[in-house]
């Protein structure tokens, strides 16, 4: 039996009848129950009501202070001073001994018993950020996992006071700039841009970070126009430029299918405005009818 197979933006062909599944955790479902697609972190359930109230009052004091700082920053904001200077990198994250590495989420396939890779993100002997670990493509013998071998580190999503979600606004910049010292491997850079609706929760933009290896540092300038759209690792047919005013996180992934240790040392991650770079998007834009079957 044939039926239309749904693309995320519409029907694009006829295919065999099968489940509209976008997550292995929820077979047969087209939508997502939560933003982590089933990979939830368990919270302690033995907290008393008194402990929760005490923690809430402590959080309230902290959130009021953050809200006060937000109001002051809004009143003192100078749009002229905030404009980027062409050719100069504005550092978004700088890694040194004062960096709070708890602001970064480190994950691997072994965290959910879906592989044997391990990794960590900490201070290097040189006083910089060090993303290191061991990559393993060995698939667990559970009959469910088909592919394995990834390690990832990403920034925590920015929030306003009282736990309100917000975004990084990089719309005034054209390039992502990184000073790194790698091991010759290729890493994947990720720009998260989770939308409001569940179908866009897993939208991400990717591009490769190619390292030289050796003892020397390298500065990589990557245009935002080179990043391509994916959803859960699947490259989308209909490409579009990344919404730089709605970036939720920045991440680095080791997943080049090469077994063994990896090492990526990071000095800083910054942004740059290049007025000579006029490219909006490097990939073709296909105009596909909303209801096309072929």
Per-residue confidence of the chain (294 residues) as pLDDT tens digits? 333 334 444 433 333 333 333 444 444 455 566 666 666 655 556 778 888 888 888 888 888 888 888 888 777 766 655 678 888 889 999 999 999 999 999 999 999 889 999 999 999 999 999 999 999 999 988 888 888 999 999 999 888 888 888 899 999 999 999 999 999 999 999 999 887 776 778 889 999 999 998 899 999 999 999 999 998 888 888 888 999 999 999 999 999 999 999 999 999 999 999 999 999 999 887 776 666 554
Task: Look up the pTM and report it.
Answer: 0.78
Which CATH topology does 85-284 take? Answer: Jelly Rolls (2.60.120)
Distance from C-alpha of 184 to C-alpha of 260, rounded to nearest angstrom: 13
Cα–Cα distance between 224 and 5 in angstroms, integer?
31
The rounded distance, in Å, linking the Cα atoms of 209 and 56 is: 42
Q: Does residue 242 contact residue 224 with C-beta atoms inside 8 Å?
A: yes
Report how far residue 3's alpha carbon sits from residue 136's, in angstroms, rounded to the nearest whole number: 39
Residue 86 corresponds to which tokens in the numbers above? 């062409």
Residue 47 CB contacts under 8 Å (≥ 6 apart), including other chains: none
CA distance 25 to 147: 15
Q: Which two tokens stand for residue 218?
A: 């390298």
CA dihedral 93, 99, 101, 102 (to 10 degrees): -100
Q: Which residues contact 226 (CB under 8 A, 6 or more apart)?
A: 207, 282
Angle at 103 between CA 97 and CA 106, to 5 degrees: 100
Structure tokens at 139: 């698939």
> Cβ-count burial of 275 within 10 angstroms (0-12 exposed, 13-18 middle, 19+ buried)?
exposed
Return the SS3 of 269: strand
138: β partners: none
């Amino acid at each position: 039996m044939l039926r239309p197979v749904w693309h995320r933006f519409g029907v694009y062909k006829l295919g065999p009848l099968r489940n509209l599944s976008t997550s292995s955790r929820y077979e047969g479902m087209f939508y997502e129950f939560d933003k982590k697609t089933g990979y939830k972190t368990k919270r302690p359930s033995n907290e008393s009501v008194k402990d929760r109230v005490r923690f809430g009052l402590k959080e309230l004091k902290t959130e009021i202070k953050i809200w006060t700082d937000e109001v002051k920053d809004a009143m003192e904001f100078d749009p002229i001073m905030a404009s980027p200077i062409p050719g100069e990198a504005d550092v978004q994250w700088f890694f040194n001994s004062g960096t709070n590495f708890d602001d970064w989420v480190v994950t691997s396939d072994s965290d959910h018993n879906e592989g044997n890779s391990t990794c960590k993100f900490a201070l290097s002997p040189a006083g910089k950020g060090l993303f290191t670990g061991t990559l393993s493509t060995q698939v667990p013998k559970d009959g469910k996992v088909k592919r394995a071998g990834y390690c990832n580190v990403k920034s925590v999503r920015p929030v306003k006071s009282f736990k309100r979600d917000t975004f990084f606004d990089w719309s005034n910049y054209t390039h992502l700039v990184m000073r790194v010292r790698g091991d010759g491997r290729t890493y994947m850079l990720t720009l998260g841009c989770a939308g409001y609706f569940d179908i866009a929760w897993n939208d991400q933009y990717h591009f490769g970070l190619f390292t030289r290896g050796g003892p020397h540092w390298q500065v990589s300038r990557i245009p935002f126009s080179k990043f391509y759209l994916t959803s859960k690792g699947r490259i989308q047919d209909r490409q579009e430029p990344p919404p730089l005013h709605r970036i939720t996180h920045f991440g680095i992934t080791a997943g080049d299918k090469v077994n063994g240790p990896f090492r990526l040392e990071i000095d800083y991650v910054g942004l740059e405005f290049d007025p000579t770079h006029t490219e909006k998007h490097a990939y073709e834009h296909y105009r596909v009818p909303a209801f096309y079957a072929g």
